[in-house]
Chain A
Amino acid sequence: MSEVKPLTPQAACETCPVHNAANLLKLGVDMTDWDYVVALAGNPNTGKSTVFNALTGLRQHTGNWPGKTVTRAEGGFEYGGHKYKLVDLPGTYSLLSTSLDEEVARDFLLFGQPDVSIVVVDATRLERNLNLALQVMEITERVVICLNLMDEARRHGLQVDERRLARDLGVPVVPTSARYSRGLDDLVAAIADVANGVTRPKPRRLKSLTPELERVVSRLAAHVEELYPDLPNARWVALRLLDGDERIAEAIHLGELGDLSRGLSPEEGMSIQPAAEASR
């Protein structure tokens, strides 16, 4: 009978900043000279690989179970004139233990120095997922939270206040349903804003440390900073040293941290594989 007319006129779309998302160019594995490196972290089974596929146009096998991705996968996309390399990291619950998959994720966030780190978070299990997000935010400031599985949260009758969460965390929070390609436009826009410095996240730092521990951490962090003035995460390095993390101690010993703070990319000497072998 009567045709359903689109409610929004075309003209309105063109002026909207989100419109650019239509210009998202999926580059697949073609990653010759990129402008920014984006890491994709998150708990297992939160849809990291689905987000990865949606942005790169690749078809990494996705599956509904934790532990699907144990190695990193890389792909690219182009947006707003810049090329981005997206690195899909293994899903982990924390960055504090020593299993191989966690090490792959942790080493990349720390030594790979991504320009933006996306933490994919399961909206239906926010508390446990924030554990990881908080740890990532200790390592790097440039974090975007992808609040995924919003469709499932809704199905379970949960309401997540993403604005309050963004305010509390101090980083952009983008609600998505990656399986149904919802919210990805906003996600890409948020990534671009952080990468280009339009948005400068000010992530909250852990506040619940005991005063005594806080004192020790600050003291050691000051020394780390003194030795490596350009290191963005001196406090985290200090925390790890106090925890007796062998890997970090080794990195200091071998001078890898020094390279990082001088802005050299340690990618060549610091591939993921040797770390895996060393832990055996």
Chain B
Amino acid sequence: MSDPSVRSPAGLLEEARTLRWETGGNVHEKLVEAVYTEAARLADRAVLRPDDRRFDLDRTIDRLVTSRTWGIPIMVLLFALVFWITITGANIPSAWLSDLLIGRIYPALQSGAAAINMPAWISGLLIDGMYLATAWVVSVMLPPMAIFFPLFTLLEDFGYLPRVAFNLDALFKRAGAHGKQALSMMMGFGCNAAGVIATRIIDSPRERLIAILTNNFALCNGRWPTQILLATIFIGALAPAYLAGLVSALAVVGITMLGVLLTFVTSWGLSKTLLKGEVSTFSLELPPYRPPRVLQTIYTSIIDRTIYVLWRAVVFAMPAGAAIWLSANVQVGGLSLAEHLINFLNPFGLLIGLNGVILVAYIVAIPANEIVIPTVLMLTVLTAGLSGVGSGAGVMFDASSGSATHAVLQAGGWTLLTGLNLMLFSLIHNPCSTTLYTIYKETGSMRWMILSAVIPLAMGFTVTFFVAQIWRLVAALL
């Protein structure tokens, strides 16, 4: 029938190679052309277009939100609005939850434990350690998350995020990165591990690595509540009460934009040093705007994001709470273990405008960024001269005296600089262990994984160091 050499896999491949030469090697173009011609013909036969060009709402919106002049201001404004609603909306339920969980249930648990003569170390471990850490996670994080995530998901469902990508595309190109990085960055605003996986849409390995290494600069679910809380109690408090919400919202927008800026700067740096190469082009599709399905969005964002993040925080907070309590109560040479560690890290912490407690909290929070604030609060209460949580608690957690969290932090010696630098450090530090593991899996390389932790960490230390020095210099001059 045909020549027998073809009757083996190797023969077939050889035959294909020969025939490829015969076709002149442009099979790909011909194939694509054939597909396109056919698709155009079929679509033309099946679709009946309206003759009158009616007013096209999508086009009109697009012209506005992706315009050169208005695109970025509108973006800043929209994000500011989302944060403002979150911050002003979260205040009341936050105070209410904290009053309930820490102001009422916590003392009740303590007196209950005392009534049944529970040994002090058990009640300390369970109530002062595990319960308190969990209560803080819930009261500090739940309200902002329950408001922020649905709002953000509504924007996403409406179709706004690809427009942001469109606005940022030119900037990414100039930074030597792939325009689609804007999309993986958007995913990173939810979860960096998901953002790292999303870089698969980038087909050039060089640009994909840039996107992976810089994804961490997109604030993730675990860090939004931290930023929102710190902005509220430190930055918002500077402004008169009626402006506080707005000022805090702008501070969070500022941090977010700084993250985007750092993404550009780092991408640019990488594309000039470790990852040199050409920028590839692509076409970005702007999907149609769709009326968001409000109820469904709220439902799924609460189940998928709010409860998920909260659960993750609680799961990590409970053992962390126990460990922190133990370390604060096991004494070695007159000082607790926690104090030893905090004292050891404190000089370096103060040098960069943070403190030992924060650095310990970041070590504890390597598995999950969510528990930074609860850990900071626990450590501050347990070590910073606030020992005897039970007795001191009545004063500290009195909800009528304003923000309980603020009171704890002030007692721990925090200043505006500490708050600001923690916001910066929360933005610029190593990714959580889940993200690092994902990076390892996606790149298959230990080297890139380590770099993706070391680069932001070094940048974080540098930025906070300089901010602290300049701050102190200016403060001394004034």
Known: A45-B287, A63-B161, A226-B6. A207 touches B38 (CB 8 A): yes
Q: A226 near B2 (CB under 8 angstroms)? A: yes
In the bound complex, do residue A208 and residue B285 qualify as a contact, i.e. CB atoms below 8 Å apart? no
A241 interface hit (Cβ, 8 Å): yes
> How far in angstroms is the closest Cβ of chain B from A171?
12
Contact B33 A208 (CB under 8 A): yes
Q: Tell me the chain A residues, 29-47 only, with Cβ under 8 Å from chain B.
A: 44-45
B31 adjacent to chain A (CB < 8 Å): yes
Confirm or deny: B447 has a beta carbon within 8 angstroms of a beta carbon on chain A: no
Complex contacts, A242 vs chain B, CB 8 Å? 16, 19-20, 23, 27
Pick from B22, B46, B156, B183: contact of A67, CB under 8 Å = B183
Q: Which residues of A contact B288 (CB under 8 A)?
A: 124, 152
- Give the residues in chain A near B1, CB-CB below 8 Å: 226
A130 and B13 contacting across the interface, CB-CB below 8 Å: no
Instruction: Specify which chain A residues have a CB less than 8 angstroms from the CB of B35 in the assembled complex.
Output: 94, 131, 134-135, 206
0 or 1 for each of A193-217: is its CB under 8 Å from B? (1 = yes): 0000000000000111110110010
Q: Please provide the chain A residues from 234 to 259 with a CB less than 8 Å away from any CB of chain B in the complex.
A: 238-239, 241-244, 249, 252-253, 255, 257-258
Residue among B46, B162, B183, B284 with most chain A CB within 10 A: B46
Is A252's CB under 8 angstroms from B9's CB? yes
Q: Which residues of A contact B300 (CB under 8 A)?
A: 59, 61
B10: which A residues are within 8 A, CB to CB? 253
Measured CA separation A97–B57 after assembly (Å): 34
How would residues 3 to 15 of chain B score, 1 for a CB under 8 Å from any chain A CB and 0 otherwise?
A: 0001111101101
Which chain B residue shows the least CB distance to A65?
B162
Q: A213, B9: Cβ atoms under 8 Å?
A: no
Bound-state Cα–Cα, A161 to B46, Å: 5
Question: A70 and B197: CB pair below 8 A?
Answer: yes
On whether the beta carbons of B12 and A224 are closer than 8 Å, the reply is: yes
Asked if B37 and A219 make an inter-chain contact with CB atoms under 8 angstroms apart, the answer reads no
Chain B residues, CB < 8 A from A14: none
Question: Does A275 sit at the interface, judged by CB under 8 A?
Answer: no
Q: Min CB distance, B85 to chain A, in Å?
A: 21
Interface pair B203/A252, CB less than 8 Å apart: no
Q: Does B478 contact A (CB under 8 A)?
A: no
Say whether B223 faces chain A, with CB atoms less than 8 Å apart: no
> Is the CB–CB distance between A158 and B47 below 8 Å?
yes
Q: Is the CB of A134 within 8 A of B38?
A: yes
Verify if A168 is at the interface (C-beta below 8 Å from B).
yes
Assess whether A6 is interfacial by the CB under 8 Å rule: no
Flag if A253 contacts B28 (CB, 8 Å): no
Would you call B28 and A96 a contact (CB within 8 A)?
Answer: yes
Chain B residues within an 8 Å CB radius of A223: 2, 6, 12, 15
Query: B269 in the interface, Cβ–Cβ < 8 Å?
Result: no
Of chain B, the residue at the smallest CB distance from A124 is: B288
How far apart are the CA atoms of A34 and B39 in the complex, in Å? 34
Q: DSSP majority for the A interface?
A: helix
Residue of B nearest to A205 (CB): B38
- Residues A66 and B34 in contact, CB atoms below 8 Å apart: no
Greatest chain A CB density within 10 A among B20, B42, B50, B303 is at B42
Cα separation A223 to B27 with both chains bound (whole Å): 18
Q: Is B13's CB under 8 angstroms from A241's CB? A: yes
> Which residues on the B side are within 8 Å of A133 (C-beta)?
39
Contact among A128, A134, A244, A253 for B20, CB-based, below 8 A: A244
Q: Which residues of B contact A168 (CB under 8 A)?
A: 42, 45-46
- Interchain CB contact under 8 A, A216 and B19: yes
Q: Does B278 contact A (CB under 8 A)?
A: no
Q: Which residues of A contact B43 (CB under 8 A)?
A: 126-127, 130
Which of A208, A216, A258 has the most chain B CB within a 10 Å cutoff?
A: A208
Give chain A interface residues in 108-145, CB to chain B under 8 Å.
Answer: 124, 126-128, 130-131, 133-135
| Contacting residue for B197 out of A71, A98, A158, A210, CB 8 A | A71
Nearest Cβ in chain B — how far from A51, in angstroms?
A: 15
Q: Give the distance in Å from the alpha carbon of A232 to the alpha carbon of B28 in the complex.
A: 22
Whether B38 pairs with A206 at a CB distance below 8 angstroms is yes
Given contact pairs A158-B48, A164-B46, a sample of 12 additional A-B residue pairs in the complex whose CB atoms are under 8 Å apart: A65-B162, A66-B287, A99-B201, A127-B39, A131-B35, A134-B39, A135-B35, A159-B47, A206-B34, A209-B30, A241-B20, A242-B23
Measured CB to CB, the residues of A under 8 A from B are: 44-45, 59, 61, 63-67, 70-71, 90, 94, 96-101, 124, 126-128, 130-131, 133-135, 152, 156-162, 164-165, 168-169, 179, 206-210, 212-213, 216, 219-220, 222-224, 226-227, 238-239, 241-244, 249, 252-253, 255, 257-258, 277, 280
